[in-house]
C-alpha cells in the first residue's frame, strides 16, 4: 500500500529481500529494474511495489512456480514492461516481446469433441476472463469502479436471449438457500482465501459489487469482480465439449457486442491478446477442460510426461491447488498465449481422447509402451 515517501529512501533501501523466494517475479526482478520502475507510475497511480507485493509476500515453492506479480490496470503491462516482459516470456514458454497473439473464436474450426465417452468424461467446461477497458483491475480498482464494472456487465448480460437468457445474483444479500443451490450447481465463488490472491488486494470490500450471472439452463455463467472483471464460463455434464465451446463463443461475442453498444470494449492488444489481472492468463485466458475419470492412467508413472507432451495440465476436482478424488482429474490446456482459442480446445479434445484410449488399454491389462513412445510433443 503506497505512501508517498519514496523520495526519502533509495531503491536499494527499498528493494525486497527475495533470497528465499521462488517465483517468476523474484527470478526476473533485479535491483536495476526495480530502481527504474520505482521512478514511474501508471496513469492510475499503480506502482511497482503494488504489482510485486503478492510475490514478495508469497515466496513460493521450488516445485510450483507461481507468477508473483499482478497488473493493477491495463497500462501496468506497458509501464512496467521491464518486469512483465521477462515474466511473461518465462511463464509462457518463450513468448517474446515482439510476438503477436492469434485469436480464433470460430467454433466451426473445431474438430470432434462432440461425444467423448461419458464413462470417462464426467463434465466439460470452457472458461476465460475479460476486462473492461478504462477501468482498473481488481487489485487496484476503487469501490466506485468495481460497481461500474458490475453495472456495465449486467446491462450487457440483460440483453441475452433464447438459450442464453438469464439472471444476475449479487453476492451481497444472497439468501442462504440460494447460496446452497449455487454451491450444488458448482457455480458459486467465494471470497478468496488463497494468500496469493489476498496479498494482491483483490478481496477488498468483499462482497460489494461481486456476483454471479447464469442463464436459466444453467450452462452459461459469468462471474463478476472475482479475480478479474469478468470470468465467462460455459459448462455441462458429459463429454460434448464442442457444444460447450460453441455456446461459449456465442455468449462471449454477444456480450462484447452489447458492451460496445454502450461505448465499452474489452482490454485487448495484438501482442498480449486479452489483458487480465494475472500475467498467467494473458492471451486467450482460456482454460478448457474436463473432469476425467482415469484411475489407472493417473497412476501410470509416465502420466505427467504424457500430459507434458499433450500440453495438458492436471488439477484436482476442486479446481486449482486441490487434490483429485477417486482417480478423477480436472484435465485442461496448459497454455494460454501463443495459441488461439480453437487450437487450445482442439488440444484438449485430442489429448483427452488419447488418455481415454490409454485408460481402456490399461483396463484390459495391455501395455502403453508403444503409444507413449510414439507420442510426439505438441
Interface ranges with another protein (CB under 8 A) = 1-6, 8-10, 13-17, 49, 53, 56-57, 142-144, 147-148, 172, 198-199, 203-206, 208
Pick the closer one to another protein by CB: 102 or 148: 148
- Closest contact distance (angstroms) between CB of 205 and another protein is 5
Pick the closer one to another protein by CB: 50 or 298: 50
- Closest contact distance (angstroms) between CB of 149 and another protein is 12
User: What is the distance between the alpha carbons of residues 46 and 83, in angstroms, rounded to a whole number?
Assistant: 14
User: What is the distance between the alpha carbons of residues 59 and 57, in angstroms, rounded to a whole number?
Assistant: 6
Sheet holding 287-293, edge to edge: 166-170, 211-215, 220-224, 230-237, 121-130, 287-293, 328-333, 312-315
The grid coordinates of residue 18 equal: 527475495
Report which secondary-structure segment, H or E, holds 292. Answer: strand 287-293
Pick the closer one to another protein by CB: 132 or 342: 132
Per-residue DSSP letters for 69-82? ---SSTTHHHHTHH
The grid coordinates of residue 248 equal: 461459449
Pick the closer one to another protein by CB: 52 or 342: 52
The 3-state DSSP composition of the chain as helix, strand, coil percent (nearest 5) reads 40, 15, 45
Pick the closer one to another protein by CB: 58 or 284: 58
- Closest contact distance (angstroms) between CB of 86 and another protein is 22
- Closest contact distance (angstroms) between CB of 27 and another protein is 18
Long-range CB pairs of 33-38 (<8 Å, 24+ gap) are 33/82, 33/83, 35/11, 36/82, 37/79, 37/80, 37/82, 37/83, 38/6, 38/11, 38/14
CB 293 within 8 A of CB 299: no
- Closest contact distance (angstroms) between CB of 265 and another protein is 22
- Closest contact distance (angstroms) between CB of 227 and another protein is 17
- Closest contact distance (angstroms) between CB of 343 and another protein is 40
What is the DSSP-derived secondary structure letter of residue 290? Answer: E
Pick the closer one to another protein by CB: 144 or 320: 144
- Closest contact distance (angstroms) between CB of 232 and another protein is 26
CB 131 within 8 A of CB 230: yes
Pick the closer one to another protein by CB: 13 or 369: 13
Beta bridge partners of 266: 132
User: What is the distance between the alpha carbons of residues 31 and 315, in angstroms, rounded to a whole number?
Assistant: 35
- Closest contact distance (angstroms) between CB of 13 and another protein is 4
Residue 249: exposure state from Cβ atoms within 10 A (0-12, 13-18, ≥19): buried
Pick the closer one to another protein by CB: 16 or 134: 16
Pick the closer one to another protein by CB: 17 or 177: 17
Amino acid at each position: 500500500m503506497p505512501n508517498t515517501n519514496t523520495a526519502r529512501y533509495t531503491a536499494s533501501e527499498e528493494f525486497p529481500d527475495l533470497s528465499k523466494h521462488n517465483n517468476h517475479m523474484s527470478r526476473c526482478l533485479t535491483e536495476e529494474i526495480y530502481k527504474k520502475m520505482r521512478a514511474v507510475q501508471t496513469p492510475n497511480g499503480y506502482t511497482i511495489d503494488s504489482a510485486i507485493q503478492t510475490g514478495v509476500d508469497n515466496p513460493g515453492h521450488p516445485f510450483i512456480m507461481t507468477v508473483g506479480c499482478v497488473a493493477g490496470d491495463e497500462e501496468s503491462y506497458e509501464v512496467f514492461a521491464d518486469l512483465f516482459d521477462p515474466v511473461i516470456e518465462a511463464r509462457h514458454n518463450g513468448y517474446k516481446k515482439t510476438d503477436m497473439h492469434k485469436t480464433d473464436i470460430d467454433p466451426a474450426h473445431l474438430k470432434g469433441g462432440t461425444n467423448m465417452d461419458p464413462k470417462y468424461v464426467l463434465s466439460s467446461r470452457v472458461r476465460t476472463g475479460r476486462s473492461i477497458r478504462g477501468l482498473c483491475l481488481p487489485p487496484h480498482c476503487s469501490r466506485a469502479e468495481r460497481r461500474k464494472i458490475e453495472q456495465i456487465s449486467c446491462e450487457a448480460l440483460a440483453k441475452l436471449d433464447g438459450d442464453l437468457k438469464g439472471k444476475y445474483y449479487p453476492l451481497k444479500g444472497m439468501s442462504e438457500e440460494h447460496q446452497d443451490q449455487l454451491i450444488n450447481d458448482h457455480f458459486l465463488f467465494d471470497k478468496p482465501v488463497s494468500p496469493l490472491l489476498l496479498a494482491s488486494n483483490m478481496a477488498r470490500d468483499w462482497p460489494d459489487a461481486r456476483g454471479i450471472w447464469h442463464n436459466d439452463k444453467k450452462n452459461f455463467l459469468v462471474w463478476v469482480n472475482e479475480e478479474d472483471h469478468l470470468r465467462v464460463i460455459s459448462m455441462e455434464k458429459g463429454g460434448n465439449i464442442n457444444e460447450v465451446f460453441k455456446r461459449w463463443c456465442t455468449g462471449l461475442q454477444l456480450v462484447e457486442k452489447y458492451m460496445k453498444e454502450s461505448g465499452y470494449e474489452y482490454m485487448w492488444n495484438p501482442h498480449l491478446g486479452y489483458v487480465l489481472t494475472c500475467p498467467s492468463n494473458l492471451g486467450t485466458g482460456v482454460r478448457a477442460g474436463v473432469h476425467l475419470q482415469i484411475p489407472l492412467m493417473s497412476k501410470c508413472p509416465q502420466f505427467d510426461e504424457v500430459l507434458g507432451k499433450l500440453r495438458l495440465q492436471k488439477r484436482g476436482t476442486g479446481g486449482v491447488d486441490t487434490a483429485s478424488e477417486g482417480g478423477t482429474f480436472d484435465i485442461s490446456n496448459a497454455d494460454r498465449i501463443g495459441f488461439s482459442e480453437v487450437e487450445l480446445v482442439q488440444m484438449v479434445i485430442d489429448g483427452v481422447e488419447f488418455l481415454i484410449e490409454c485408460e481402456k488399454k490399461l483396463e484390459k491389462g495391455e501395455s502403453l509402451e508403444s503409444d507413449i513412445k510414439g507420442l510426439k510433443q505438441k
